[in-house]
Amino acid sequence: MENIEKKKKSLGKKVLKWGVSIVLILMIALISIPYFFKDKIVEMVAKTINNNINANVTFKDANLSLLKNFPLVSLTVNDIAVANKAPFVGDTLFNAKELSLAMKITELFKKSDETIAIKSIASNDGNINIIFNKKGDGNFDIAIANEETTTTTSDSSFSLNIEDYEFANINFNYIDRSNNTKLSLENINHTGKGNFAEDIFNLDTKTTGFLSFDLDKTNYISKVKISLDAVLGIDLKNSKYTFKENTGYINQLPLEFDGFIQLVDENQLYDLRFKTPTSSFKNALALLPKQYAGNLNTIKTEGNFEVNGLVKGTLSNKTIPAFDINISSKNAFFKYADLPKAVQNINIDSKIVNKTGLIKDTYIAINKLNFKIDEDVFSANGSVKNITTNPKIDITAKGTLNLANIGKVYPAPLEKELAGILHADVATNFDMNSVEKGKYENIKNSGKITVSDFKYEGTDVANPFFINKTSVSFNSNTIKLNEFEAKTGTSDLSIKGNLDNFYAFIFKDEVLKGNFNLNSNNLIVADFIAADKSTNTNKAPSSTLKIPAFLDVKFSANAKKVVYDNINLANVSGDLYIHDETVDLKNLKTDVFGGNIGFNGTVSTKGTTSKFNMDLDLKQLNISDSFGTLDMLKSIAPIAKTIEGKINSTIKVSGNLNDDMTPNLKTITGDLFGKLLNPQLNSSNSKVLSLLGDKVDFISLDKLNLDGINAILSFENGQVNVKPIPLKYKDIGVLVSGNHSFDNSMNYDIVFDVPVKYLGTDVTNLIAKLTPSDAASVKSIPVKGSLTGSFGSPSFSSNMKDATATLIKDLVEKQKNSLINQGKDKIKDLIGIGTTKKDSTKQGDAKDKVTDKVKDVLGGLFGKKKKD
């Protein structure tokens, strides 16, 4: 027994050992085999592409895996793209991050001339673009022509015996350039299962995506969520695809399909019907996106809402299938459980129809659309015909709507309830040819829209916005704003005017023209700007502010009081002309800072960098207030804020604008001419002036005479240059010149013309000893000072000591020369007396006298006493 047990244990160990070994061998094989066959598969991919496709196909790499879809082997092609050749050069037919093909592992061992059967296809993160040019050619027709393929059929390396496929996050675009049509399905997720090896089989599909549709630059459908779970009957021999069990949704609206699509030669044959499975009015609300429709389970409804349609006929180069789509409702009613009011008497009768199969004969008819809220009734009807040739639009609308009821009948995503009464009675009838050719006599508009007691609140406005009354009337091509009386905060607005060229703006992308008059008694700019609640104080603007290119509008404005950034402006008037991404400011005037400002200029956001150009005329402005408040003036003349008084000035300035539309000071260029009127300098308000007062003790800066001073400044590339400015303090002349930059660094030269009497007794005593003519020539000396550093941390130096020392040296030299000249004259007198004597004894006496005189002169010159 023990031997038997030992043999069993030994056998178990062997089985486990071999089992583990086999698993390891299989794992190694699963990992390593792809490397042996990779080159073969890559060669087959390239060979198949070259033999079958007339396009530029690129891919980053191709990899094999036995683990991804075991027991199938997967070939994954990374970053594949199929780019068209002529006549679609520049277009991409297909691209994807990954394209995976799955096949049986036995397919890897086939010979190079044998076909490999594909069982599964998957692709993700890609785009498919089907494009028709104006000639009707399609970019998808990239298969090599039959006469070429007959010689290469045996070289084809793949066959499709697909059992399932999957596409994830694919975007599909259908573009027809002949009629400017674009149909898009975005974020498609689609799966299908079926045996493509059979001629007839069922294909089980699931599809979701977002649908958009554009016709001639007008968007009719924008990212509507759609889904379809359908079993399709596939007949490969007859190219026929039949709807079996299926459920589709447009947003939350359910639809069921019946019928088939069949490919016949180069055409497509349609015989389809669709309808809503129920007639509940909830179906109408289900058309809305889920986030706007609210909870449909809590809605009480009455009456019906139905959508049904028929599509039947041939899609070819010349025809489309005829169709008849009906959307109807009769005596319907709905009320949300948590809202107090209901919408009643809802009647809808609308159609989208094409009876002939010619696309130009498609038309939309809204025969009836009306509803009632409380006692307010609103109705409309209209039609659109000749959609693809010369669309003709005919619409009328009439009724009253209490805006406060919107939030009481429908869960509108409003932060605050609306208020106000809207009355409308309007009609329009026009065709697009008349709009495009400017034949406004063919445009028939009439009616009026009025709004009264309107109120709006929200985080996007600083204060509740009230419109007391407004009235808009319509004629052929003009919308006239008869009145607009509004208030917000403490501000009031009154606007009248008209918009021209309205239809050309809407339908032809032409500019919108207008002319308005704006009046206000009190306009506080902060009343119109909502506070930024972001905690990020360093947050940069999300984008550069742009003046709309589509506007060509003139404003004439008058406001008794405007408050902007704590600056009080009075009697503001002027004209603004907005055009071509530019605002022209003309004859703008305002009373401010105790005087008035007039300016003309332009602001343009055209191009990548916004620019401005201004001419300003300042009259009788308070200097310290204006140059201490306005950033640009502060940067041009920082020292001016220390001056009390008035200024007359002209300023020309141009430069670039920052993203927040403030001047980029490093780029501004221009000049300033200013004349000071009754100015008084207050040196205590400036570190620069305080430093000068400490360093230059012979001048009291507060008593400088600045009256009538003319200042001329020029600035460029962030640098301000000041031309020499002559100043006066008593009998001391001062000349200031130099420059500073907008970062507050400075470099100024100051020359003081200092009278000698201020230089001390040593200097005045020396001057007193000069001859009258020499003393008269020494009145003053130039003392040069240098002011550097910054306005916040200034530095001052001068040559006062050197200038004084030089003067003293010159004075000593003048006095020395004067005394020497006096001594020479006395010596000449002495020598002249001695030459008339011949007696030798007397000659010796004369020599002694000369010597004594010279000693006296030298003694006097150098201040020595005579000897006894």
5 confidence band (pLDDT: 50, 70, 90): low
Pair 266, 316: CB distance under 8 Å? yes
* Nearest Cα to Cα of residue 749 among 775, 707, 716, 721: 721
pTM: 0.65
The Cβ of residue 866 has, within 10 Å, a number of other Cβ atoms equal to 9
Under 8 Å CB-to-CB from 641, ≥6 apart: which residues? 623, 624, 627, 628, 634, 685, 686
Predicted confidence at residue 570, as pLDDT, reads: 94
φ and ψ of 408, to 5 deg? -95, -10
Percent of all residues in the chain with a pLDDT value above 90, rounded to a whole number: 38
Structure tokens at 858: 């030298």
- Out of 7-21, 522-536, 680-694, 786-800, the most confident range is 786-800
Grade residue 728 by pLDDT with cuts at 50, 70 and 90. Answer: confident
Summarize pLDDT for 328-358 with one digit per residue, the tens.
999 999 999 889 999 999 999 999 999 999 9
Give the pLDDT confidence score for residue 862 in this predicted structure.
32
pLDDT at res. 456: 83
By mean pLDDT, which of 339-343, 532-536, 838-842, 854-858 is the weakest? 854-858
**Residue 429 confidence (pLDDT) above 60:** yes
- Which of the two residues, 34 and 132, has the higher pLDDT score? 132
Structure token digits, residue 47:
């060979």
The closest alpha carbon to 372, from 339, 409, 420, belongs to 409
478-506 mean pLDDT: 88
Q: Between these two residues, 440 and 414, which has the higher pLDDT value?
A: 440
Q: Which of 162-171, 305-314, 500-509, 629-638 has the lowest mean pLDDT?
A: 500-509
* Residue 387 in this model has a pLDDT that exceeds 70: yes
Q: What does the pLDDT read at residue 17?
A: 44
* Phi, psi (deg, nearest 5) at residue 188: -75, 130
Q: At CA 189, angle to CA 183 and CA 191, rounded to 5?
A: 115
Q: Is the pLDDT of residue 616 over 70?
A: yes
Whether the pLDDT of residue 383 is over 60: the answer is: yes
Per-residue pLDDT at 830? 58
634, 618 in Cβ contact below 8 A?
A: no
Residue 157: pLDDT over 70: no
Angle at 195 between CA 192 and CA 198, to 5 degrees: 140
Q: Is the pLDDT of residue 20 over 60?
A: no
pLDDT tier, 247 (very low <50, low <70, confident <90, very high otherwise): very high
Please give the average per-residue pLDDT across 770-782, as a whole number. 76
CA pseudo-torsion sign 716, 720, 724, 725: positive
Residue 445 β-bridge partners: 428
Q: According to the model, what pLDDT value does residue 327 have?
A: 94
pLDDT in tens, 173-231: 989 887 788 889 999 999 999 988 889 999 999 999 999 988 777 777 888 899 999 99
Q: Which residues contact 96 (CB under 8 A, 6 or more apart)?
A: 79, 80, 123, 124, 125, 126, 127, 170
Determine the Cα–Cα distance for residues 689 and 642; give it in Å rounded to an integer. Answer: 9
Return the structure tokens found at 450: 């009025």
Work out the percent of the chain whose per-residue pLDDT is above 70. Answer: 82
